[in-house]
Chain A
């Protein structure tokens, strides 16, 4: 078979994996901090993108200018969610919290479409999705400039976050909380505030993801399903590890593309939809705590 083609697919996969990673990142942040598996992350992505687009359209400003107000909106959303949904449910078991976020998902989906309409819209960041001429010329490999840039953005985002969490007070608080809620409370860390912050940050991450996905596939309801794509990523990477999210994202992205290309035809194609899950499931059976997650011992 054709190596070039293989590499193309691989790189394409990896790059799109980066985008999964981005969504996964949102999950990990929230899960780490509050033990909540935020099913609504995907809805937030959709919400962010649509809002940003909506703002720029209604105000007739460029998408880039619309980002700022959208960030504020996302922060508000994050804080509101913490206040209205999570705080009353504190100390509930994870399933309940999970189901609550499903509820949140529906709410956001409804809200965003009520606000900005249900039809798909194109979102133009002004980055053309053309192959990098340099690589194409010299190695005859097609690499989407867009994907590359989004990968870069993602990398940037991760570094920023890492710095944020290692060098700011809130960041350290967050890590403490992630390690042990009770202890964190004991030393007087305001859980609620930390959670609020985390949800806000997750909102911003969602925005970035939303813009990139939106620019690629258009801003539409389907965006919410990117979240579902992130689930296998998390299972691979483990719910509590940022690097896990990245690596997991890459693996899923690459494997699903490869599978689609090389296995798909044999079974009538369209396996992208479920392949990652089945992969994740098999993986679960072997290592329930994920690649980077820490092993849990059942104490009695």
Chain B
């Protein structure tokens, strides 16, 4: 109903394939960004930053990563958390062992390290499909965590295996306040989300989707299966890696390998299932949902003063049933629901 598309005609392919071809969408996005960059920092409380906003952003990033691999390239992975761990610990070690290295560079290097691991464990994807592949990613999950716990070098011989992330300093500015960390995270996430969006709407993205939808046809039309899958693994891992680094540096501050357990992998998988496979927007929606739901449940439990343990079990059950629910009812998740709603608005007042 708020869409006024008449007269928004395109005279170039660039404008036709623009990120947001519809004016109203552009405006909407800009408003959204304004809210996140300007409004929220003014109003939000430290709790809001540390408990909701920052984790939400980080999970979104990880979800984008997994979505690239699973949602777009169709390769199921249960090892996102492992990629995150690699990213985090690599960043830590780069910072540690190369003094005075800019943190952003360290983040990138962390991502790259994750990407390399991703490529290594992506290799089997040429020969094995479906959940066989999932199993190899599971193997990686365990293997990586084992390495990080068993090889003290990674944790700089910290007895507890816990590492303390170095201070985040960019061009002399120290990101110690929650707001500053939030803004840093937000900037990185927005930028990488934009890049992801670009990748999935160009040839790269088409190659992934082609492999996902019909690998034989994709090969016949000239996409190299292995190369395509490996790029997906690499980029996915890179995104997860950076997310993992942020997880350590702007969210927790101190982490142990166990923070990146299989459970985290599953949660990220749930995010994209609920949010929407093959949709960048979905990654955000899913992350938001998965961040808010537990909080909601906690409130609920508090409100009826039920035993605290129930909250966590309730959480597990809700997640579980939601996954099943979405897989059955709306396999494309919240993103699709959003899309349907949008279509309705565009056609308003007509039904079709």
Contacts and interface: CB of A to CB of B under 8 A. Distances in A.
Direct touch of chains A and B (CB < 8 A): yes
Contact of B327 (A96, A108, A270): A96
Given A100-B323, A228-B138, A281 B124 contact: yes
Contacts of B310: 114
B313 A110 contact: yes
A285 interface: yes
A106 interface: yes
Interface string B112-138: 000000000000100110111011101
A274 B143 contact: yes
A269 B149 CA distance: 11
Contact of B273 (A37, A99, A235): A99
Contacts of A280: 135, 139
9 contacts: A96-B327, A99-B273, A109-B313, A109-B320, A110-B318, A111-B313, A270-B149, A277-B135, A281-B139
Interface residues of A, number: 47
Given A106-B317, A277-B143, A284-B124, A99 B327 contact: yes
Contacts of A7: none
Contact of B142 (A235, A274, A284): A274
Given A98-B130, A274-B146, A113 B324 contact: no
B331 A100 contact: no
Interface stretch (A18-26, A87-95, A159-167, A206-214): A87-95
Contacts of B320: 103-110
B136 A99 contact: no
Nearest to A228: B138
Q: Which of A95, A109, A231, A235 has the most CB of B within 10 A?
A: A95
Contacts of B315: 110
A284 B128 contact: yes
Given A99-B273, A103-B322, A114 B139 contact: no
A278 interface: yes
B340 interface: no
What's the interface size class on B, roughly? 35 or more
B313 A270 contact: no
Contacts of A37: 131
A284 B323 contact: no
Interface string B67-99: 000000010100000000000000000000000
A130 B134 CA distance: 39
A235 B150 contact: no
Contacts of B138: 228, 231, 277
A187 interface: no
B309 interface: yes
Q: Which of B139, B143, B331 has the most CB of A within 10 A?
A: B139
B201 to A, nearest CB: 24
Contacts of B157: none
